[in-house]
Amino acid sequence: MTDPDDTPASGSRGGVAGAGDESEAPTARLVGALETLRARLGALRLPLETPGVASARTDLHRALDQLDDYLLPRLRAERAPLLVVVGGSTGAGKSTLVNSLLGEPVSAPGVLRPTTRAPVLVHHPLDVRWFTTDRVLPRLARVTSSPGAAEGDGAGRSLRLVASDSLPQGLALLDAPDIDSVETANRDLAAQLLGAADMWLFVTTAARYADAVPWELLTQAAARRAQLAIVLDRVDPGAEVVAEDLRRMLAEHGLDETRVFVVAEAPESGAEALTDGLLPEHAVGEVATWLSGLGGDPEARARVVAATRDGATSDLVRRAVAIAEAADVQEVADARLRDAVARHYAEAIAQVESATSDGALLRGEVLARWQDFVGTGELFRSIEAGVGRARDAVGRFLRGRPKQAPQVEQAIAHGMEAVILDAAEQAAERTYASWHGDAAGAALLGGLDLSRAPAALRDEVGAQIRGWQDDVLALVREQGASRRGTARALSFGVNALGVSLMVVVFASTAGLTGAEVGIAGGTALVAQKLLEAVFGDEAVRRLSAQARERLTGRVETVLRGQAARYTAQLDALGTADTDARAVRDAAHRVSEAARAERAARPPEEGGATRPWSGGLLRGAGTPRPPTTDGVPRVEPAAGAGQDESEPPRRGLWRRLRGRKDSTS
The answer to whether 554 and 464 have CB atoms below 8 angstroms apart is yes
Q: pLDDT class for 171, splitting at 50, 70, 90? A: very high
Return d(Cα 415, Cα 21) in angstroms, integer: 81
Is it the case that residue 483 has pLDDT exceeding 90? no
Contact, 143 vs 152, CB < 8 A?
yes
Q: In this predicted structure, what is the pLDDT of residue 213?
A: 83
With cut-offs at 50, 70 and 90, classify the pLDDT of residue 643: very low
Least confident span in 184-198, 326-340, 435-449, 630-644: 630-644
What local confidence, expressed as pLDDT, does residue 381 receive? Answer: 45
Q: Which residues have a Cβ under 8 Å from the Cβ of 139 and sit 6 or more positions away?
A: 68
Q: Phi/psi class of residue 77: alpha, beta or left (left: φ > 0; alpha: ψ in -120 to 50)?
A: beta
Among the ranges given (264-268, 506-510, 610-614), the one the predictor scored with the smallest mean pLDDT: 610-614
Confidence (pLDDT) at 490? 57
What's residue 486's pLDDT?
57
- Residue 167 makes CB contacts below 8 A (sequence gap 6+) with 102, 122, 123, 124, 173, 295, 653
> Of the given ranges (61-75, 395-409, 428-442, 595-609), which has the lowest mean pLDDT?
395-409
Specify the higher pLDDT residue, 133 or 515.
133
Measured between alpha carbons, how far is residue 206 from residues 91, 153, 293, 539 in Å?
12, 34, 27, 97
Contacts of 35 (CB under 8 A, 6+ apart): 72
As a whole number, mean pLDDT of residues 113-137 equals 82
In the predicted model, is pLDDT for residue 41 greater than 90?
yes
DSSP-derived 3-state class of residue 226: coil
pLDDT at 271 over 50: no
Q: In the predicted model, what is the mean pLDDT of residues 350-365?
A: 81
Q: What is the rounded CA–CA span in Å between residue 4 and residue 77?
A: 10
> Percent helix, strand and coil across the chain, each rounded to 5?
60, 10, 35
In which band, very low, low, confident or very high, does the pLDDT at 377 lie, cut at 50, 70 and 90? very low
Mean pLDDT of the chain: 77
In angstroms, the CA 480 to CA 491 distance is: 10
Q: For 625-649, what is the mean pLDDT?
A: 38
Whole-angstrom distance, CA of residue 354 vs CA of residue 567: 26
Q: Assign 55 a pLDDT band (cuts: 50, 70, 90).
A: very high
Q: In angstroms, how far is CA 214 from the centroid of its own chain?
A: 27
Closest-CA residue to 24 (of 35, 12, 36): 12
Rounded Cα gap, residues 567 and 562, in angstroms: 9
More confident residue, 362 or 4: 362
pLDDT band at 633 (very low <50, low <70, confident <90, very high): very low
Please state the rounded mean pLDDT for residues 182-205: 86
Q: Can you tell me whether residue 384 is helix, strand or coil?
A: helix
Peptide bond into 114 cis (omega under 30): yes
pLDDT beyond 50 at 103: yes
Summarize the confidence of residues 100-128 as an average pLDDT.
76
Reported for 182-188, long-range contacts at CB under 8 A and 24+ positions apart, including other chains, are: 182/113, 182/114, 183/114, 183/156, 185/156, 186/114, 186/117, 186/156
Q: Is the pLDDT at 112 greater than 70, yes or no?
A: no
Instruction: Tell me if 368 sits within 8 A of 412, measured CB to CB.
Output: no
What residues contact residue 408 under an 8 Å CB cut-off, 6+ apart? 366, 369, 370, 373, 499, 502, 503
Residue-wise DSSP of 535-571? H-HHHHHHHHHHHHHHHHHHHHHHHHHHHHHHHHHHH
> Residue 64 has what pLDDT?
95
Question: Picking from 66-80, 328-342, 512-526, which range would have the lowest pLDDT averaged per residue?
Answer: 512-526
Check residue 268 and give its pLDDT.
Answer: 55
Greater model confidence, 569 or 660? 569
Mind listing the domains of the chain with CATH numbers?
21-325+590-656 (3.40.50.300), 356-577 (no CATH)
Mean pLDDT throughout 397-403?
A: 49
The candidate with the shortest Cα–Cα distance to 56, out of 74, 68, 71, 44, is 44
What digits encode the pLDDT tens for the residues 543-598?
989 999 999 999 999 999 999 999 999 999 987 778 899 999 999 999 999 999 99
At residue 95 the predicted structure's pLDDT band, cuts being 50, 70 and 90, is confident
In degrees, rounded to 5, the angle at the alpha carbon of residue 423 between the alpha carbons of residues 420 and 429 is 140
Q: For residue 631, what pLDDT band results from cuts at 50, 70 and 90?
A: very low
- 490, 362, 486, 472: which is closest to 419 by C-alpha? 362
- Residue 458 or 297, more confident: 458
- 268 CB contacts (<8 Å, ≥6 apart)? none
Does the pLDDT at position 40 exceed 60?
A: yes
Residue 17: the pLDDT is 35
Name the more confident of 203 and 239.
Answer: 203
CB proximity list for 458: less than 8 A, separation 6 or greater: 417, 421
> Whole-angstrom Cα distance, residue 424 to residue 233?
69
Q: pLDDT band at 619, cuts 50/70/90?
A: very low
What is the pLDDT, as a whole number, of residue 373? 65
Helix (H, G, I), strand (E, B) or coil at 227: coil
Q: pTM of the prediction?
A: 0.72
Query: Shortest CA distance to 180 belongs to which of 206, 209, 152, 159?
Result: 209
What's the burial of 248, exposed, middle or buried (CB within 10 Å: 0-12/13-18/19+)?
A: exposed
Residue 426 has pLDDT above 70, yes or no: yes
